Amino acid sequence: MTIHKPQQRADVAEIITQASADGTALAIVGAGSKLGLGRHAPCADQLDMSGFAGGLDYQPSELVLSAGAGTPLAQIEALLAENRQMLAFEPPDWSGLLGAGGSGTLGGVIATNIAGPRRVKSGAPRDHFLGFHGVNGRGDMFKAGGRVVKNVTGYDLAKIQAGAFGTLAVLTDITLKVVPAPETSVTLVLRGEDEQAAFASMTRALNSPHEVSGAAFLPAAAAARAGGFGGDATSVTLLRLEGHGPSVAFRAGALASMLAGGDVLPEAASLALWREIACVQPLLQRTDSLVWKLNPQPSRAASVLAEVQARLPVTSCFMDWGGGLLWIELDPAVPDAGAGVMREALARAGGHAMLVRASEALRAQVPVFAPLEAGLARLTARIKAAYDPADVLNCGRMYPPVVS
């Protein structure tokens, strides 16, 4: 295997032009923190983008930040924190989940479009991704979007790039919208609810004007694995409030009286708790288990979970995003990684499921991403061909190559 480590966009273009002429598949790697995510489809060569670190252009009062795609996320988050700003989508660190070191690079976060608990209020990376420079699978250097928050000039190619797992183009430079960090935050904790009751509480909270920015439910076993709750052995429903001091204080009181109860977890404990939830830590019972991420229609979360629990050996689970995200851990011995059941449940409930953690062999056999309905699959294949006709960029990382 050849590992290319370009330093300039033109080098990337040259490498890809050559690879596409030879038909050599390239694995695109930032820090490698998410290599275990997606279909397992080994590529002949590797394109190491860590040379594209830095190049920061950041004006806090413009709410815009640009950086090389290989810039470590931790570095960007530290810089933003110094200026009391943040990435609104709360990029989670899945290194514990995926068994990798560190939270990765900016390019990796965009390519996988992974958001943390604040997704319910503030959206995903795609919602904050303003523009980029990159190289498509033909070796063309192109750009899209801009460096301002409001822009409708041409197609919004940033959107389709986010969550494409590097299968369309290699990003070299990324511009993001940033937001002020909240002055303070607290979490209201309701104890002892079951899934149905928790969904009802989360929905009442999210539907209230109290601007809830995190809504999760940890069954007792998961709660026991989250820092603060150690020995309590009850489930917890967690509702986060963030913002200016007087506002958070008022809303915490109002929300507690609306839901008739709950304790308030103060700032430090609240911060630590949501970091754990973002990292999926409360889920992880064992290191060899299968992990699924389900995105059902929120109102169907409890029924989807009940169905999955009835039909599969679920070892652990929890809900985030007010029910819009279900984390499920399965015994690794389950046939087809449980894919059939997951997808049946979601076909009825609306939504999709991704196999997040499984062995390479399983991720090669079982569809990791929700299989596409025929018309969408054809369109997706045409779009892939429009960007990368020789199918060299992260070939097979999302879907098996189309045999034509």
Partner 1 sequence: MLARRHDIVAHLRALVPGEGVIDAEIERRAYESDGLTAYRQLPMVVVLPSTTAEVVAVLRYCHAEGIKVVPRGAGTSLSGGALPLEDGVLLGLGKFKKVLEIDIANRCAVVQPGVTNLAITQAVQGEGFYYAPDPSSQIACTIGGNVAENSGGVHCLKYGLTTNNVIGVEMVTMEGEVLRLGGKHYDAGGLDLLGVMVGSEGLLGVVTEVTVRILPKPPGARALLIGFPDVEGAGACVAAIIAAGIIPGGMEMMDKLAIEAAEAFVHANYPLDAEALLIVELDGCEAEVNHLVAAVEDLARHHGASSIRASTSEEERLLFWAGRKAAFPAVGRLSPDYYCMDGTIPRQRLTQVLARMKQLEARYRLRVANVFHAGDGNLHPLILYDANQPGELERAEAFGSDILRLCVEVGGVLTGEHGVGVEKRDLMDTMFDAVDLDQQLRLKCAFDAQSLLNPGKVFPQLCNCAELGRVHVKGGQTRFPELPRF
Residues 44-103 contacting partner 1, CB under 8 A: 59-64, 84
403 binds partner 1 (CB under 8 A): no
Nearer to partner 1, 151 or 315 (CB): 151
Shortest Å, Cβ 134 to partner 1: 9
> Which of 279, 370, 392, 395 is close enough to bind partner 1 by CB under 8 A?
370
Nearer to partner 1, 221 or 381 (CB): 381
166-178: string of b/e by CB count within 10 Å (b at 16+)?
bbbbbbbbbbbbb
Closest C-alpha among 262, 110, 289, 136 to residue 188: 262
Residues 107-126 that bind partner 1 (CB under 8 A): 113, 115, 119, 123-124, 126
Nearer to partner 1, 124 or 308 (CB): 124
> Which of 79, 365, 383, 396 is close enough to bind partner 1 by CB under 8 A?
383
| Separation in Å, CA 279 to CA 224, 226, 275, 345, 380 | 15, 11, 6, 25, 30
Nearer to partner 1, 120 or 358 (CB): 120
Structural contact between residues 34 and 112, judged by C-beta atoms closer than 8 angstroms? yes
Shortest Å, Cβ 227 to partner 1: 26
11 binds partner 1 (CB under 8 A): no
Spatial CB neighbours of 362, under 8 Å, sequence gap ≥ 6? 290, 337, 355
- Any idea what the Cα angle at residue 206 is, between residues 203 and 208, rounded to 5°? 105
Spatial CB neighbours of 60, under 8 Å, sequence gap ≥ 6? 83, 85, 178
| Separation in Å, CA 312 to CA 101, 309, 326, 340 | 31, 6, 15, 10
> Which of 82, 153, 231, 333 is close enough to bind partner 1 by CB under 8 A?
153
> Which of 23, 350, 400, 401 is close enough to bind partner 1 by CB under 8 A?
350
Residues 298-337 that bind partner 1 (CB under 8 A): 298-299, 321, 324-325
156 binds partner 1 (CB under 8 A): yes
Nearer to partner 1, 211 or 276 (CB): 211
146 binds partner 1 (CB under 8 A): yes
Torsion sign across C-alpha atoms 380, 384, 387, 389? negative
Shortest Å, Cβ 291 to partner 1: 17
127 binds partner 1 (CB under 8 A): yes
Closest C-alpha among 263, 270, 264, 250 to residue 209: 250
Nearer to partner 1, 69 or 398 (CB): 398
> Which of 55, 79, 147, 197 is close enough to bind partner 1 by CB under 8 A?
147
> Which of 379, 400, 401, 402 is close enough to bind partner 1 by CB under 8 A?
379
Closest C-alpha among 91, 92, 90 to residue 118: 90
Shortest Å, Cβ 50 to partner 1: 25
Query: d(Cα 303, Cα 178) in Å, to the nearest integer?
Result: 36
- The H helix count followed by the E strand count for the chain is 14, 18
Residues 278-297 that bind partner 1 (CB under 8 A): 295-297
354 binds partner 1 (CB under 8 A): yes
Query: d(Cα 307, Cα 311) in Å, to the nearest integer?
Result: 6
Shortest Å, Cβ 349 to partner 1: 9
Shortest Å, Cβ 231 to partner 1: 33
Shortest Å, Cβ 387 to partner 1: 7
> Which of 51, 163, 332, 396 is close enough to bind partner 1 by CB under 8 A?
163
> Which of 30, 91, 107, 243 is close enough to bind partner 1 by CB under 8 A?
243
Torsion sign across C-alpha atoms 61, 63, 67, 73? positive
Query: d(Cα 94, Cα 238) in Å, to the nearest integer?
Result: 21
What single DSSP character describes residue 215? E
Structural contact between residues 125 and 115, judged by C-beta atoms closer than 8 angstroms? yes
